Structure 1
Amino acid sequence: MSDEPTPETSRPDPVDGTPSPTGDDASADADTATGRPVDQPRSRYLSAKTTRRALAAVAVGALLAALITIVFSDGFQSGDELISHPNTGGPMSTGAVAGKAFGTAGVGDCLTWTKDDAGDLSKVDCTDDHLFEVAAEVDLSIFPGTEFGPGSRFPGVLRFSELRDEHCTPAVNAYLGARYDPHGKFSVGLINPGEAGWAAGERTVRCGLQNSGTTGNLQPITGTVANQDQSKVWNGGTCIGINQNVPTDPVDCAEPHAFETISVVDLGAKFPDGFPTVEDQDRYLEETCTQASNEYLGPDGLRNKTLTLFWDNVDLTSWLAGSRKVNCSVGKEIDTGGFASIVNSTKGEILINGAPPVPPPALPEGRSVPTPLPGAAPAPIG
């Protein structure tokens, strides 16, 4: 890894995955990059190269999980794209065969379940916690040919993947008025009726929105997606788990984790007149996240605990969709790429890879090291 700080930063991309009446699917793509200050090189900002490599591994892991899961399941599917045909009524609902909630779910309905196979799928008020918001109904029976006709074979994993890719993102964009953030916390999902429902004649599938974690595990949604900021952020004090040096999903801070969020920053408050460049975001976030770190850990906490400060960026696509918020976070960069494992909240006594951090030697009295703009070379000492 180069010792030069890197100015690029980026938001993690969304991860898709939906359990179903008979299973689930997940995939991931993630990308975060950061810069590094100079008062203690390699211990303040996470380099873009390292974080990009670490989070790319998250994508690979989640994709593998999706492929493994989908082999054993035939229910909910998720994806990045979906074209909806108008609801023409289609075949009569199969009721309990595909599930009453599935058979009667319409645009704007919110669904939830607790069982791994979603056998207890039910409709709930969208102000309550739920796992899926229906954006469109797609009636496969009106497609030309006999592929989805009476007595047709239940489509396999790859065919349902193709169907979701052909149909769902346009449907979600139409549902949200072209304000879907593909890099935000919500991903596009598809629910099919399962083999039993298909055998009974059910040919509708549902496109919708879900909040997929990094590993594809669904997180609860409260309220309709159209009425909330889609930024992929966590509340300050949230710890993000770790698996083979890459981040996973939120965990208790007493468990091993990759990093801890320390604050949420609303870029819209600082830049009310329009989209700020990455450079402008970095200049503002360097100061803002450093201040947040000092308040969260104490003035010397970051240095003494040998931690790395980093933040996200909002890109133009996300900005146009209405996303404005980013996280400031702290973790521990490792030279081979990714994160070290931290136990306990960084506010208190922590273990890094099983050992307490060893503070670096104190800086000489009367000597200070300026903090450069992101991308600048470290200032010489001496």
Structure 2
Amino acid sequence: MMMDYETLKVIWWLLVGVLLVGFAVMDGHDMGVGTLLPFVGRDDTERRVIINTVGPHWDGNQVWFITGGGAIFAAWPLVYATAFSGFYWAMLAVLWALFFRPVGFDYRSKIANPLWRKTWDWGLFVGGAVPPLIFGVAFGNLLQGVPFRFDANLVSYYEGSFWGLLNPFALLAGVVSSAMITFHGAVYLAHRTEGEIQQRAVRATLIFGVITLAAFAAAGVWVQAIPGYVIAAGADPAGLPNPLAKEVVREAGAWMANYRQQPLLWAVPALAFLGGLAAIWAVRAGRTFFAFWASGLMIAGIIGTAGVAMFPFILPSSSDPRSSLTVWDSVSSHLTLTVMFWATVIFMPLIIAYTSWAYKVMAGKVTKAYILENEKQAY
């Protein structure tokens, strides 16, 4: 069975969004825990408790990151090539930060030396804090347009600089992303720990939950003053990929057009606020499992809000708006999208099933007693 090309393009926009949300929810709580590690854990035993809440499964959650990158490469090859060229140094910074995670988890507790362990604690902090910040800054730049263009042979040229990415709106988006992931990690810590560690995690949820929702609201107000992008002519949703076949103009308030045309879409940002508030309430009421899923809905709402605002744009160009990449003209062939779709239908349930089984097996509180009784086996 082969669906029509236009439908497949929209399906893959949705699937990439699902993978991004899955990465933010599953690998995000690992990173949030790493960000909180030096602050919530006051001594070596407490920090080992914190590390062991995520140590057994953090690498399994990386599947969402790898799958998301692979899906962008296969479904949106022009986006992958252009974004990784333009954001080259930013992506390298993410990879350098991520290097601290596998080494930190595996070697941090191998040597009973305070300086050794403290150094790796801060390494795990870098590996947890830097990627969400950079991803948020990248999203902020997408909403403003990225300085690239295509020549007649569809060779892309990036005309910006690394420091140009660090503009005020992008930094605000970075705050949203960083606080969101830290909040999610705090909720998870509150679920998996007890005693003083849990109490500190609960306090962190209030701090970072308020920062997330306040920064998200501020970004929503700000984005209305940013000129958005509108396809004026030439885009064929069912046609072959050719970014230069369309005409694009920039208009004030264009990023709000989808919400004006379809008022039901306001449910997406509403989900972010309702999920965040519900998670803050639930974790303080002791309903930590519910709080974790409410936090996940908040994440889905925040990421979905940006996606809905930009649709059908994926990578707008500030240098040459016509070169902007959209859902319609940056995709792979009809056959490729079809094969990938059926592969996803088969393998996505398997990923969800084994992830669910792993979390069920490793459910429960991690305590100081467990660490002391398993000195050699624990992280």
Bin for the TM-score computed over the shorter chain: under 0.3
- TM (norm. structure 1) is 0.27
- TM (norm. structure 2) is 0.27
Q: State which structure, 1 or 2, has the greater radius of gyration over its C-alpha atoms.
A: 1
